Structure 1
Amino acid sequence: MRILDGDQYSEIYSQKFLSYFSNWRHGAPSYKKRNAHLVIDKNHAVTFENDEKRSYASGINNALKWILDHGIINSEQMTTLAQWYISCHTDKLKAAIGERFDFLLLDEAQDTSSKQYRLLMQLTEGTNVQFQRFGNPYQALYTIYGNETVDAWNPIVEAEKGVAQVEEISTTVRFGPHIANLVKNVCCENYPTFHPSKSSSSLENCLIIFEDEEDLRRKYQRLIHRCVTENTDFLECHKKDEIVAPLHEDLKRWFPDYDRSLSASIDHNQKYKDVFNAVQNELAHLNRITRAEEHVLLQQNLDLASLVGKMVRGLVTGNMTREELERFIVPIITPNSRKEAAELSDTLLAKFMYVPDEISGTLNKSEQQINLSTIHGAKGETHRSTFLLLDSEIYWNKKDHENLFFKTLYPFLIGKRRDYGNELDSKFIKDCLKYAYVALSRPKFLAGVAIPISSITTSQKQEMLDYGWEEAK
């Protein structure tokens, strides 16, 4: 079975659905909006059902069934299959897990669906296995993208019910006080204990008011140049500078050349494979052996393979310096030449990572690169600087001519938090805050917001400046 999600799965579904309806004039109907889901009956037969009442409902189900029959599933269907299998063998699985493991550690618990979370609880209940969860519940986005209305993992509620003991880590080492205060302001829940470590530092939070794509890019690039010139830590940071928004459509509206397929790798495994193959080729060349011989060498020597694995991960995630890369390369190449290691390090960094020109300190071509991504695509990343595009239609059924995304977030950006739990639009407000929290907690040095000039009034701008925002012009 192959697991595909996002555009890859949707494209296959769309093509198959349209093949059933030759006269269909529009794009294939969304199977997600029609709650199309996999069903396994008591005879273990697999079918699909959906909520569509019109005649093409069977076409949706048939297209999804055809994809499954050809060995392709998405993550939601995979969870349904897991649920079915566990229900058939619950006692045996619990006994096996209890005998083999003392602990079950779930990292990034906020990214777990309710169904996945219930399965893990089911497998550990009544056993001696200690189920420990780690994560940040304020970054949970499942209630935005899926059909779920309540976060699967809520440690505060679990503590109140006596289901779990909670230990809070409220100190961040990623960024300093300016970003920490901003992130605290836009948290979907009151988070007074959140603070940076003493060793962390960050620049003033910045505001860009722009007219069009060119204006936004120019002001952002000018700001980067200033930071590179004035701040050595910013200069030496190898992370990305990125503009993020809730939806691909938000980026496309302001950046017509934006290509969602290039903004983030749809197939993350393929990304690792590409980098691994490139590293393996370079190592084979330096070791004066064939690629096949290098592959066999790595298979036979787990220590060398581990070093290569760490190199690949560092290059893919952007979390590796030139010096760190050299230290990994030296023991892998024959002879152990530091000169060749340095050259290979430069080659790999130039090919796969953004690296500032540390010698001149000027704004060279690589320093001007500004990346674009959805907030979901940037989850888990660390950036050098991040700007949140405050112009979005995050709900397809909301007419957003007055830019509700900015209007909703504005009071929180100037420190005017309120208890919004009983407001009619409480879910919308919470979703906006979740987007902002995830986005503005990405940067290490510089956080900012980019606002269309038509969306902000003179008095709002002045309030932001008075609160401590710095305008980048």
Structure 2
Amino acid sequence: MFSTEGFSLIEKKILGNKYRFNKEQIEVINAEGNANIIAGPGSGKTTVLVAKLALFLKERVTNNKGICIITHTNVAVDEIKEGLKKVGINNIEYPNFVGTIHEFFNHFTAFKAYRELFPNITPVILDNEIFKKKFSDIFLGYHSRMNPPTSKVDNWHLKLISSEEFELYENVSSYYYTELIDTLRDIFKSGNLRHNDSLSLAYWYISKYGEELKKALSKRFDHILLDEAQDTNNIQYNLLCALFNDNIYFQKFGDPYQALYTLYDNNEEAWNPEYERKHNNISYNELTHSTRFGNSIAKILKTTCIKQYSNFSGNSNIRSFKPHMLIYDSEESVIENYRDLIRKYENIDEQFKVSHRKVAVVGMTKPDIKKFNENYKEIKNVRTNTELMSSKIYQIFIKGLYEILKYAHNITEQKSNFSMSDIKKHIAKEQLEIKVDIAKCIHKLIKEKKLIEDDFMSSIENTLRLFKKKELSKIKGQIPYSSVSKYIKDTIISTTLGYKYSEIVEPTTNKQIYFGTVHSVKGETHKATLLTESVIIEDRFSPNEVKYYAGKVLFDYLIGTYIDYNNMLDEQFVRATKKALKIAYVALSRPTHFSAIAIKRECIEDNYEEKIQKAKGAGWEVVECFSPK
């Protein structure tokens, strides 16, 4: 338990004078020991987590022990740090740790393991797209007869036997198994890693030094707080439990009903708080009151969930509108009707009108969304495109430096001992000033979009002259700086023509309506959300393939009838039901005011009028979006 005085001070700084933590939130903040905290959508999980962390940092750091916060995204890390600034904590210092799960494994296990296996190589984690490009190029060298299986790269985990011997944990076709292992080994040994490789290294390191590592961590940390625990995959979760089981208090925060990463592989979720409560005697706390939306939305979620959520409630101070069911026979009419409804409610509710949050249309998959917006296309990640471009431009600079080096040695009739790879390593290791100069040039190109101006050319020449001064000071003669800098500039222009800045800056919008997959909106808050009809396919590409419309699967759950699918005999239908419920729960819990779902008429064609009356009786506003006959 924290002190009353300390708690009141933190509460006031975080919530202000008007609000107070509710009973459930206070219990979670004061929870001791190992615990699972089930936090419903909009229930203030992050706020509670920040308050708990702030109180730990101010009152509970004893015996030089700190607290470790692990989450899944940099956005979440920034959100936690911003929350701590409200209470006057601007820096998270040793022995405390706040970072993503990837940063945790890299720092405490993976990079240590790699240095032991390959002491002369500094590893880096590559962006996914950059890794796939490298994978494709190397794989073709081993197996030119088939297209590289880049789409499956994220599924494979290396099993490290030694620095020279590798296997895969997963079963892979024997047709390309050897070439696949050789490709992943070559990239791995060059120091270029995926996040999956980080986990492989962590597994190897914990297997070898597990007891020593557990002792070291228990001396440093008093508590481990895992945020968004439902997003932890089986390998990550098992590794964390191996490190913290019985020696450090481990508290996990999240919403198991929003676990989407197993949506397509039908595996069980790694974090199962109900099981842990029954079998591992781990305490179970809940945050069941949402401050995001009113009771009209909360009511839907009580039964539209993979487990009936009877005690979930909304915020009575928020006027959420009736949920809307858009029944349609043609997708063309749905978005226009949705837009009209948004206009209607903006005209009658000022709070809804002035909200700057998104008006969203959400689908299970990209093809589902394209049925409702033929112009929809996935926008590539800004950071991914930027890193790809940065990497290409850096390579061009290295090639320019190599040309300078070759020219200089031709003047003196010396044999150059430098390759392009040597130059890159040399600059990375010893010539920080040159690297900074190159970074400035790249920044001008990507961030400031300065390419053809004179100062950009001058920056290139300055970098080349600095390289000559540092590396070739004993060589005399005229170095053709202008021609090499022109080569660099021209190559950059030709290389970057394919990148359109507009495609990596603006989100996909259609007159202020945002379109995205359910995965892309997880964690967001909208003013209005429409869930499109989705097609769920079980046992795809097999003789037993079956297709289900989500609307048909969901209808009874939406109108307040929870059916225990575990008692169903049809395994395919059970899997489809769980997927449909997960999608609907995540999507319909995003909005503050307006929640809607589009259902194809044929899904409820049997006893249509009776079903419409049931929906209205359950609190739904039904809008028939039928095309004129």
TM superposition score normalised by structure 2: 0.54
- Counterparts of 2:306 and 2:171 in 1: how far apart (Å)? 32
Instruction: For 1:275-354, list aligned pairs within 5 A.
Output: none
Tell me by how many angstroms 1:231 deviates: 1.1
1:143 aligns with 2:242: no
* Matched residue SS, 2:270: coil
Q: Does 1:433 align with 2:581?
A: yes
Paired residue type of 1:412: Y
Q: Displacement of 1:171 after TM fit? A: 0.8
2:373 alignment counterpart? 255
Tell me the equivalent position of 1:224.
Answer: 342
Task: Describe the shift of the 1:69–1:403 C-alpha distance in structure 2 as closer, same or farther (beyond 3 A).
Answer: same
Contact 2:615 2:622 survives alignment (8 Å): no
1:157-196 equivalence runs, <5 A? 157-196=275-314
Equivalent position of 1:408 in the other structure: 553
Are 2:590 and 1:442 equivalent residues in the alignment?
yes
Q: Which residue does the alignment assign to 1:451?
A: 599
Deviation at 1:110, TM superposition (A): 0.9
Deviation at 1:464, TM superposition (A): 2.6
Do 1:18 and 1:28's aligned partners in 2 also have CA atoms closer than 8 Å?
no
Maintained 8 Å contact 1:245/1:392: no
Structure-2 change in CA distance of 1:377 and 1:197 (3 Å): same
- Cα deviation for residue 53 of structure 1 reads 3.8
Asked whether the equivalents of residues 138 and 434 of structure 1 are also in contact (C-alpha less than 8 Å), the reply is yes
1:84-163 → structure 2 map (5 Å cutoff): 84-127=204-247, 129-146=248-265, 149-163=267-281
2:152 corresponds in structure 1 to 31
User: Deviation of residue 448 (structure 1)?
Assistant: 0.8
Q: Distance in 2 between matches of 1:392 and 1:14?
A: 32
Distance (Å, rounded) in 2 between the aligned partners of 1:384 and 1:213? 22
Instruction: Indicate the SS of the match to 1:103.
Output: strand
- Note the C-alpha offset of 1:211: 4.9
Q: CA deviation at 1:45?
A: 3.6
Deviates more, 1:103-112 or 1:203-212: 203-212
Aligned to 2:516: 373
- Hey, what's the Cα distance between the residues in 2 that align with 1:175 and 1:71? 48
Change (3 A) 1:74 1:186: farther
The Cα shift of 1:462 comes to 4.5
Following superposition, the deviation at residue 469 of structure 1 comes to 1.7
Letter matched to residue 188 of structure 2:
L
Structure 1 gap segments, 5+ residues each: 283-350, 355-365
SS at match of 1:261: coil
**2:452: which partner in 1?**
none
SS in 2 for 1:87: helix
1:15/1:79 CA distance change after superposition, 3 Å: same
Q: Matched residues in 1 for 2:620 and 2:588: separation?
A: 14
1:118-157 superposed Cα distances (whole Å, 9 cap, x missing partner): 2222212232x211111111111232245x7222112221
How far apart are residue 114 of structure 1 and its match?
Answer: 1.9
Q: How far apart are 1:449 and its partner, in Å?
A: 0.5
Q: Is the 8 A contact 1:237 1:384 kept in 2?
A: yes
Matches of 2:299 and 2:136, distance apart in 1 = 44
What letter matches 1:379 in structure 2? Answer: K
Answer yes or no: is the 8 Å Cα contact 1:386–1:447 preserved in 2.
Answer: yes
Tell me the alpha carbon deviations over residues 274-333 of structure 1, each in whole angstroms, 9 at most, x when there is no partner: xxx99xx99xxxxxxxxxxxxxxxxxxxxxxxxxxxxxxxxxxxxxxxxxxxxxxxxxxx
Name the SS for the 2:379 alignment partner.
helix
* Structure 2 unmatched runs, 5+: 1-122, 391-442, 449-503
CA separation in 1, counterparts of 2:336 and 2:156?
45
What fraction of aligned residue pairs are identical, expressed as a percent? 32
Q: Secondary structure at the match of 2:565?
A: coil
Q: Shift of residue 456 of structure 1? A: 4.2
1:397 aligns with 2:397: no
- 1:252 Cα shift? 3.0
Report deviation, 1:455: 4.0
Change over 3 Å in CA distance of 1:404–1:367 after alignment to 2:
closer
Query: Measured at CA, do residues 86 and 49 of structure 1 come closer, stay the same or move farther in structure 2, by a change above 3 Å?
Result: closer
Q: Which amino acid aligns with 1:433?
A: L
Provide the rounded CA distance (Å) in 2 between the counterparts of 1:176 and 1:385.
13
Contact preservation (8 Å) 2:365, 2:534: no
TM-superposed CA distance for 1:18, in Å, is 5.2
TM-score of the aligned structures, taking structure 1 as reference length: 0.71
Q: 2:622 maps to which residue? A: 471
Report deviation, 1:209: 3.1
- Give the letter for the 1:419 counterpart: D
Asked if 2 retains the 8 angstrom alpha-carbon contact of 1:50 and 1:57, the reply is no
Paired residue type of 1:468: G
The answer to whether the 8 Å contact 2:257/2:307 transfers is yes
Corresponding letter in the other structure for 1:420: Y
Q: What is the number of residues matched between the two proteins? A: 382
Q: Distance in 1 between matches of 2:334 and 2:593?
A: 19
The answer to whether the Cα contact below 8 Å between 1:17 and 1:59 also exists between their aligned partners in 2 is: yes
Residues 178, 32 of structure 1: alpha-carbon distance in 2 compared, 3 angstrom cutoff? farther
Name the amino acid aligned to 2:255.
N
Instruction: Find the partner of 1:417 among 541, 562, 585.
Output: 562
Q: Work out which of the two has the higher radius of gyration on C-alpha atoms and give 1 or 2.
A: 2
Q: 1:352 to 1:413 in 2, by over 3 A?
A: same
Instruction: Compute the displacement of 1:451 (Å).
Output: 2.4
Aligned residue in 2 for 1:387:
530
Is the contact made by 2:297 and 2:589 (CA closer than 8 Å) also made in structure 1?
A: yes
The question of 1:246 aligning with 2:364 is answered yes
Cα distance 1:209–1:15, how it changes in 2: closer, same or farther (>3 A)? Answer: farther
**Gap change, CA 1:7 and 1:397, over 3 Å in 2:** farther
1:82-115 superposed Cα distances (whole Å, 9 cap, x missing partner) = 1212222222221221111111111111111122
* Deviation (angstroms), 1:413: 1.2
Q: Structure 1: how far apart are the matches of 2:345 and 2:197?
A: 47
Partner of 2:479: none
Q: Within 2, Cα distance between the matches of 1:202 and 1:410?
A: 21
One-letter amino acid of the structure 2 residue matched with residue 232 of structure 1:
E
Give the match's secondary structure for 1:194. coil
Provide the C-alpha distance between the structure 2 equivalents of 1:154 and 1:452, rounded to a whole number of angstroms.
34
Q: Distance in 1 between matches of 2:232 and 2:332?
A: 39
Choose 111-120 or 47-56, whichever is displaced more: 47-56
Per the TM alignment, residue 375 of structure 1 is displaced from its structure 2 partner at its CA by: 1.0
The CA distance in 2 between the partners of 1:9 and 1:407, in whole Å, is 40
Return closer, same or farther for 1:428/1:164 CA change in 2, 3 Å cut-off.
same
Residue aligned with 1:171, SS: coil
Deviations 1:167-198 (CA, angstroms, capped at 9, x unpaired): 11111111111110111121101211111133
User: 1:371, CA displacement in angstroms?
Assistant: 1.0
CA distance in 2: counterparts of 1:68 and 1:210, whole angstroms? 51
The change in CA–CA distance for 1:369 and 1:20 in structure 2 (over 3 A counts) is: farther
